[in-house]
Amino acid sequence: MTEKLWRRVVRKKWVQNSTVFIVIACLLFSYFGAAVQAKASDATDIQGHWAQNQISAWIDKDFVKGYEDGSFKPDSPITRAEFIVLVNRAFGFTAQSAISFRDVPSSSWAYVDIAKAVHAGYITGYEDGTIGVNLPISRQEAAVIVSRLLKLNTTHTEGNAVIADAAELNSWSKDAINAVVAAKIMQGYSSDHKFKPTAFITRAEAVVTLDRAAGAQAQAHVVAYDQAGTYGPIEGVETVNQNVAVNAPRVTLRNMVINGDLLLGEGIGSGDAFLENVKVTGKVTIRGGGENSIHFNNSVLVDVVIDKQSGTGVVRIVSEGVTTVALVIVNSPATIKNSSASGFGFGNVNVSSALPAGSKVTLQGSFDTVNVSSIQAQVDLPEGSINTMNVRSAAAGTSINLSQGITVNSLVLDAVVTILGKGTIVAATINIPGSTFENPPSSTATPEPTTTRSSSSGKGSSSSGAKHPPTASDVSISGAVAVGQTLMGIYTYTDPYGNAENGTTYQWYRSDDAQLTNHTKIAGATSLTYVLQNEDAGKYISFEVTPKNATAPTTGLAAESAATTVVVKAPAAPVAKNVSINGVTTEGQMLTGSYTYEDANGDAENGTTYQWYRSDDAQLTNHTKIAGATSLTYVLQNEDVGKYISFEVTPKNATAPTTGLAA
């Protein structure tokens, strides 16, 4: 909207004043190429290519797609517009600036992305007023863009030490090329060590370059704790709106809210780490630690993934106090001890199919649900209890050792396993015969056998055997848990007779807590994906799948995922409203810009910028920036007499998305 124009005629000299337009732009997303493929395996010409891994990952992320004929054309050049699209996706740029390039009309598919690039400050046009939207981009141009994106130091670089054609670099790109080579983002060709600055960058090179650049930026935005010590306030709570990495033993994090992921890295070695009164809204990944333990005390965690490198030993994790952990996924040998108060601790444990065969997992304490999907695993329970234990069909050959005093209330077997020990199994559902028990269950349930009779009279022959329906296992949810984002249900379909899946149904649920105690069906949410709505904010979401096939028995038991993290409002850029100007419009007088800052996520204002403009008319059709006029106030100069003055504010905060539209 446009503020009302106001004008004041004063004694000698006067200026006219208006505020600037508030521009609202639609964010449109376009794909380069005639894109049709849905996953990396569909690309026919990247198999064995040197950039296959990065291209596959970008296809799977939906950052890039191929062509209608199934090819990706990794060695073909890429245009400047296409490169800009990739940059915006990789770096998450959304804010836009007004643009007027002669070769980018507002109807162009690239218009929005060019506007984002200009606002982000990594691209400029040519002297003739164009931006070369359809021109192939050269390697030196790509190097300059990457240097700007990462704000690399271009004053003291030594990248030319490994560039055979350093003497041929252009003066305008030399420093940027040296910087990206020094940062190991780009490099010379292995055949002759030449950078070839004027050569067109290929689609494969573009993906790899931007993948490295985005990775470098992400690493720069990780809060790292690399020295032993205690971090966090003695009193109160510190909020960290970034990912966090711990890479040293004897580190304690206390009184923190981490709005991101937490990595307990390899640098911990076989040492220990402690979380005391810490809440992590993202994923916790454990790649370090040993038998001395990773301790979670009075902490709230959602997903914990144990994923140590093979051969680095067993890690022990312990919950204490009133810690709650919704789900633990075990991908490497581990000991999991639940020492928390009753009703707290590790809720669900998935011994996943990624666990190497023959690995040992030890569970100590009380657990609600334990799912075992690893082949030939050894699961030991020396103490405690399990409410429900599901042994999935993929867990064939697994042994489960229940020490005396252990109680498993419900055991469901979809695979042939060995149950050792004197522990008590209250009830067992045996869907696949053949398992052995050292101490038989108190009660068992098996599907009723069926009998088939011949059509001849008097001499019937019969065969009997249990018929087992299909199963859904390893049910989980992927996707960003924010309003407007799409969640996808993931599961493994298994049928003991090899019957194809047919007619499987889905249902999404909404709940007030992570335990899903009052979860209710979301009306109409019956597909494999679900777009989070405004009413989901502050709630927890779960996904249920009921497996089916076309051969009796057709329908298996419904299986439900664990809850997501709490749904947050869609990340929104801050907004400046009610923009106006106060003051007397006379030469030498001070004008003051006024506006209202709003942020839908409640993020505090931080770094907002200002700009004053001068124009010949009230429509501001030719308004130009006033050099140096970048504060909240402006003193009118002699050259402003007879002109129109406007004030622009670009609201910012410190939390992504950081920058709103200029108003």
pLDDT of 474? 84
- Range from 293-297, 426-430, 657-661 carrying the lowest mean pLDDT: 657-661
The label of the residue with tokens 């600055």 reads: 197
Say yes or no: 67 and 209 in one domain.
Answer: yes
Report which of residues 40 and 2 the model is more confident about: 40
The reported pLDDT for the residue numbered 20 is 31
In a domain, 196, yes or no: yes
Q: What length is written for the chain?
A: 663
pLDDT for 28: 24
For 200, the 3-state DSSP assignment is: strand
Residues 378-407, mean pLDDT to the nearest whole number = 93
Q: Which of 37-41, 384-388, 401-405 has the lowest mean pLDDT?
A: 37-41
Tell me, yes or no, whether 33 lies in a domain.
Answer: no
Per-residue model confidence as pLDDT tens digits over 227-278: 999 999 888 888 887 889 999 999 999 999 988 889 999 899 999 999 999 9
Q: Is 215 inside a domain boundary?
A: yes
DSSP of 597-614, one letter per residue? Answer: EE-TT-PPB-S-EEEEEE
CB atoms within 10 A of CB 10: 12
Q: What's the confidence (pLDDT) of residue 151?
A: 83
Same-domain pairing of 230 and 362: yes
Instruction: Provide the angle, in degrees to the nearest 10, between the axes of the packed helices 80-91 and 139-150.
Output: 20
**Which tens digits make up the pLDDT trace of 38-80?**
344 456 788 888 988 888 888 877 788 877 777 888 999 999 9
The residues, ordered by sequence, that sit 6+ positions from 212 with a Cβ below 8 Å of its Cβ are: 184, 185
Q: Which two tokens stand for residue 556?
A: 């298996």
Among 6-10, 197-201, 329-333, 376-380, which is the least confidently predicted range? 6-10
Residues 516 and 609 in one domain: no
Q: Which of 175, 191, 219 is the last residue of a domain?
A: 219
Q: Are residues 328 and 287 in the same domain?
A: yes
Are 79 and 182 contained in the same domain?
Answer: yes
Residue 519 confidence (pLDDT): 86
* Cβ atoms of residues 413 and 395 within 8 Å: no
Give the confidence band of 390 by pLDDT, cuts at 50, 70, 90.
Answer: very high
Average pLDDT on 580-604 reads 85
Residues 234 and 338 placed together within one structural domain of the fold: yes
Shared domain for 79 and 212, answered yes or no, is yes
CATH number at residue 10: 2.60.40.2700
Question: What pLDDT score does 308 carry?
Answer: 87
**Among the listed residues 430, 431, 389, the one whose alpha carbon sits nearest the alpha carbon of residue 406:** 389
From 648, 646, 647, 643, select the one nearest 587 (Cα to Cα): 643
Q: Is the pLDDT of residue 461 over 50?
A: no
- Residues 582, 588: Cα–Cα separation, whole Å: 14
Boundaries of domain holding 283:
222-440
Work out the pLDDT band at 487, boundaries 50, 70, 90: confident
**195, 219, 243 - which closes a domain:** 219
Same domain, 50 and 15: no
Chain mean pLDDT for the chain: 82
Q: Among 200, 219, 238, where does a domain finish?
A: 219
Give me the pLDDT at residue 272, please.
94
Same domain, 61 and 177: yes
According to the model, what pLDDT value does residue 484 have? Answer: 77
Residues 536, 580 share a domain: no
The answer to whether residues 85 and 113 touch, using CB atoms and an 8 Å cutoff, is yes
Q: How many structural domains does the chain have?
A: 4
Q: Is residue 127 domain-shared with residue 61, that is, in the same domain?
A: yes
* Assigned domain for 459 exists: no
In angstroms, the CA 359 to CA 369 distance is 20
Asked, for residue 18, whether it belongs to a domain, the answer is yes
Tokens, residue 301:
């965690």
Task: Report yes or no on 32 lying in a domain.
Answer: no
Is 290 part of any domain?
yes
Within this chain, do residues 511 and 599 fall inside the same structural domain, yes or no? no
**Per-residue confidence (pLDDT) for residue 355, from 0 to 100:** 87
pLDDT at residue number 459 = 33
pTM over 0.75: no
User: Around 348, how many Cα atoms within 13 Å sit in the side-chain half-sphere?
Assistant: 21
Q: Is residue 455 part of a domain?
A: no
Task: Identify whether the C-beta of residue 248 lies closer than 8 Å to the C-beta of residue 227.
Answer: yes
Asked if residue 585 lies in contact with residue 7, where contact means CB atoms within 8 angstroms, the answer is: yes
Residue located via tokens 């060590």: 193
